[in-house]
Chain A
Amino acid sequence: MARFLAARLGKGLLVLLAIVVLNFFLIRLAPGDPALVMAGEAGAGDEVYVAQLRERFGLDRPLPVQLGLYLGHVLTLDLGYSVRQQMPVGRLILDRLPATLLLTGTAFLISLGLGVALGALAARRAGRWSDAAITGLALLFYATPLFWVSLMAILVFSVRLDWLPAFGFETVGGGYEGLARAADIARHLVLPSLTLGLFFMAVYVRMTRASMLEVGSLDFVKTARAKGLPEGVVQRRHVLRNALLPVVTLAGLQAGTLVGGAILTETVFAWPGIGRLMYEALLQRDYTLLLGVFVVSSAMVLLLNLLTDLIYRVVDPRIEVRA
C-alpha cells in the first residue's frame, strides 16, 4: 500500500512537471501578450509604456530563462506574482478556492446522490411510467446546454418568481454574521449548484440504471433471491454495490473537474471562483496566474485519480492496488 502510494505520487509529480512545461509553451502560442492587453485597455500607449510593462512582466528575458525561473519557483511551492493583479498568485488562488470548492462540491454531492438514487429507483421500476419519467428527465438534462439551463433558471426563479438570488456568493452589504450568513450563502448556492449538478446527475442516473439492470440478471442475484433475502436487501447489497463500479469511475472523472471546471456556471452566476479567475487570466494573457491555476487544478486531478483507485478497492475488494 505504502509502496503503491509512493510510486503513484512520484509519477504524479513527473506528470505535473510535464504539464507545466507543456502549458508554458502552449499559452505563448496565443497571439498577444499581457503588456499589449494592458496597453490596449489603457486606450493609449507608446513604446516606452509597452516596454516598461514587458519588463515588469519579465517578458524581456529569453523564453528558456523565463521557463527556468518559473520551474525553480514552482519546485519551491511558489506560484509567482501576478503583475496584473498586483498580488501573489498563491493568494489569488487561495482566495477563490473556497467558493469554487463549495460550488463544485455541492454540485458533486447533489449529482452523485440524486443520480444514484434515481437510477436505482428507475432500475427497480424498469418499464413502468416512473422509470420513463426519470430517464426522460435525465435525457433532457443530459442534452440541454448548461448555459441555457442557467439562464432559464435565473429567468424563472429569480426574475419572475423572485425566490432565489440570481448571482453572487452572498448578499453584498448584507452584513450577515454566523448562521444568518451561512443561510444567505446557501440561498445563493442553490441555482448554480443545481445547474452545474444536473448534467452529471443525468449521467449517473443512466449509468446506474443500465448497470443495475445488467447485474440484476446475473446468477448470484438469483441465488440471493432463492435463499429468501428480502428484495430491498438484494437490490442494495447485491445489485447496487456491484453496479457501482462504473459510477465510481465516472465520479472520479467528475471530481477531477472540481477545481476550475465550472467556468460557465461561475460566469453566468457571478460566482467568484477559480474558473472565472482562469478564464480572465487567459483573456488577459496573465501567464503566471494561468499557469498557477493549471498547476493547482492538475495537482488536484492527480490526487483525485489516486483517491478513486483507492475507493475501487473499498467498493470491490477483489481489485488489488498495485503501482
Chain B
Amino acid sequence: MIRLAAAGTALLLTLAGAVLAQTPKAGGVAQAPKAGGIAQVPKAGGIANAIIQPEPPGLMLGLLQNGPTQMVAGNIYEGLLRYSESLEPRPGLAESWEVGPDGRTYTFHLVRNATWHDGKPFTAEDVLFSVEFLKQTHPRARANMAKVASLTAPDPYTVVFTLSEPFGPFLGVFEVGSLPMIPKHLYAGTDYKTNPANTTPIGTGPFLFKEWKKGAYIRLVKNPAYHVAGRPYLDEIYWHVIPDAASRAVAFETGKVDILPGGSVENFDVPRLSQLKGACVTGKGWEFFGPHSWLWLNNRQGPTASKAFRQAVSYAIDRDFARDVIWNGLGKPAIGPISSSTRFFNPGLGRYAYDPAKAKALLKESGYKGETLRLLPVPYGETWQRWAEAVKQNLEDVGIRTEIVATDVAGWNQKTSDWDYDIAFTYLYQYGDPALGVARNYVSSQIAKGSPFNNVEGYANPAVDEAFAQAAAAVSPAERQALYDRAQTTLIEDAPVAWLLELQFPTITRCKVHDLVTTGIGVNDGFRDAWIER
C-alpha cells in the first residue's frame, strides 16, 4: 500500500513539476510584433477570431437584448447613430441630424446608399417600422420612445421625430443596441417572434450572418455592399463558444483566438494574459454603458431600513482594496449614483471614503442589535464571489454580521425581483444619461416587483422624484445639471444603496488587431473599422 501511494505521489509531482517548471515561458506562444502608437495604414483582409461568452440565445437584436447577442449582432444590425468615447453623436445610418430649438423635433437625414443584406434598399419606411416593432418587443426602446408624439417620413431619406414634451437624453438613444434598424420587408405583417428571418438575421451592418454551429462557433463574413466605402476591412469573424473560463484563457494563450471582449476571462487571469508578448489591453469602449456597481440595501425592513445603518455600510467598505485586489486595479470607486463617464456627473459631491471608525459610530446610532443579514452576491463567476467575501469581511470588521446566500442566475433574478434579500450586489448600465440608466433605480414610480432593473431597494423620496422628472424634461444642459446635482446630493445623504465601483471590463487583444474599439460602445458597436496587421 505504501509503495502504491509513493508511486502515485511521484507521478503527481512530476506532472505538476512539468507545469510549474515551464510557467515562466508562458509568453513564448505569442508571436505578434509590437505595434501601437504609430499610425499605420489599415490593410484589408484577414480573419478575426473572438470569444463570445456565454453563447447568445439568438441574434435577432430587436427581440433579444442580452450582452452576447448585442456583441455579435452589433456587426449585423446598425442604429441611426453611434457615439464617441465622450458620448458625442456620430453618423451611423443617419448621416446628419438637426434638433429643433424647442427641443421637441429631431430630424434625421439617412444615408442614401445603405441596403439590407438581401439587397433591398434601406429607407425611412424601415425607420418608422423599426420604432413600432421595438415598442412592442424592446423594454428600453419602449421607455425611450414613450414621449414620441409623431414620427413621419417627409421623403424616403428623412425622418422626423416630434416629442410631446422635451426629453433631454433623446439624442442619446439611437445606438444599435437601443434602437436597431429592422427590415420592414421581412417583418411587416408577420408574427415577429416566430418569423423565420430570426434565425438568419438580415441587417444593414458591415458583416453578414453566415453560419452558426451551436455550441461551437458563429461565423460572419464581410458585407461587400456596405454603405461606407472601403469598410469593413476584415473578411470574416469567427465567434468561438468556449464555456470554461480557464479554457478561454488557454485559447488566447495558444493563439486560437485574438480577441477577448470584456468579461471573457476571469479577472485574475487578466494580468497574466495582458503580460503575454504581443498582447494589448484597453479599458475603453464602456463609456456609453458605464457599468456601475452597488449594494442594494433593502430600505423596507430590518436594520437596512435605517439611514444611519445604510451610511455605516457605505463607510465600512474599502473600495480601493476591492479595485486593486479583486478587480486588478481596473475601475474607479463610485462616489454616487451617476458614473463619471455619464453626463451630469459631479466630482465634487462624493463623501463615502473608507472610514471604519465613522461606520461604527453610525452603527451605534442606528440601534443595530447584531442581527445576521443575508448578503447576495452576483452569480457571474469567481470575481464576484471573492468580492462578496471581501465585503463580508469589511462589514464584519465594523460589527455587521452577514451570511452569503448562494444562488445561480435564475435564483438571483427571482430573489431580487421579489425583494427577498437584505443586502444584494448588482451592477447596471447607465446608457450615457441619468434619465436613461440612473433614475430607474431611485424614483418611486419604478418600485415594482418582478424586475431586477428598477427601484429594487424600495427608496421613495418625492423631492428626488421631482428632480429627476424635471431634469429629464429640461432643455438646457445647465438647468439639467443643477437638477441632477440636487438629486445626487439628496441620494448621497440618504444612501439608499451603497455604491461600490465603476466597473471596467478590459478588452484583451493581440496587438496586431487595430481599431477594434473606436466608440463609446466598444466591441458591441461592431468590427466596422477593425483591421489586422499581416
Contacts and interface: CB of A to CB of B under 8 A. Distances in A.
B243 A267 contact: yes
Interface stretch (A111-119, A161-169, A230-238, A296-304): A161-169
A83 B217 CA distance: 20
Contacts of B4: 132, 135-136, 139
A45 B64 CA distance: 11
B410 A154 contact: no
A219 interface: no
B57 A32 contact: no
A160 B254 CA distance: 9
Contact of A49 (B139, B199, B247): B139
A63 B334 CA distance: 45
Contacts of B254: 158-159, 162, 166
Interface string A272-312: 11001100100111000000000000000000000000000
Interface in A140-173: 140, 143-144, 151-152, 154-156, 158-160, 162, 165-169, 172-173
B193 interface: yes
B463 interface: no
B11 to A, nearest CB: 6
Contacts of A269: 247
A41 interface: yes
A207 B217 CA distance: 41
Interface stretch (A15-23, A71-79, A84-92): A84-92
B438 to A, nearest CB: 13
A95 interface: yes
Nearest to A152: B15
A267 B238 CA distance: 19
Interface stretch (B34-42, B110-118, B447-455, B481-489): B447-455
Given A39-B139, A283-B409, 20 more contacts: A31-B407, A31-B415, A32-B411, A40-B452, A43-B67, A43-B453, A46-B451, A46-B454, A50-B450, A86-B57, A132-B7, A144-B12, A159-B254, A162-B254, A172-B238, A267-B244, A272-B215, A280-B54, A284-B57, A285-B410
Interface of B: 3-4, 7-8, 11-12, 15-16, 18-19, 22, 29, 47, 49, 54-55, 57-58, 64-67, 137, 139-140, 142-143, 193, 198-199, 213-217, 219, 236, 238, 240-244, 246-247, 250-251, 253-254, 256, 407-415, 417, 428-429, 448, 450-454
Interface of A: 30-34, 36-50, 52, 56, 84-87, 92, 95-96, 99, 132-133, 135-137, 139-140, 143-144, 151-152, 154-156, 158-160, 162, 165-169, 172-173, 266-270, 272-273, 276-277, 280, 283-285
21 contacts: A38-B57, A39-B453, A41-B66, A44-B140, A86-B198, A95-B214, A96-B215, A136-B3, A137-B11, A139-B4, A139-B8, A156-B15, A162-B254, A165-B256, A168-B240, A168-B242, A268-B247, A276-B243, A280-B54, A283-B409, A284-B409
Which 9 A-B residue pairs are closest in the complex by CB-CB distance?
Answer: A32-B410, A272-B215, A41-B66, A136-B7, A42-B65, A32-B414, A31-B411, A40-B413, A270-B242
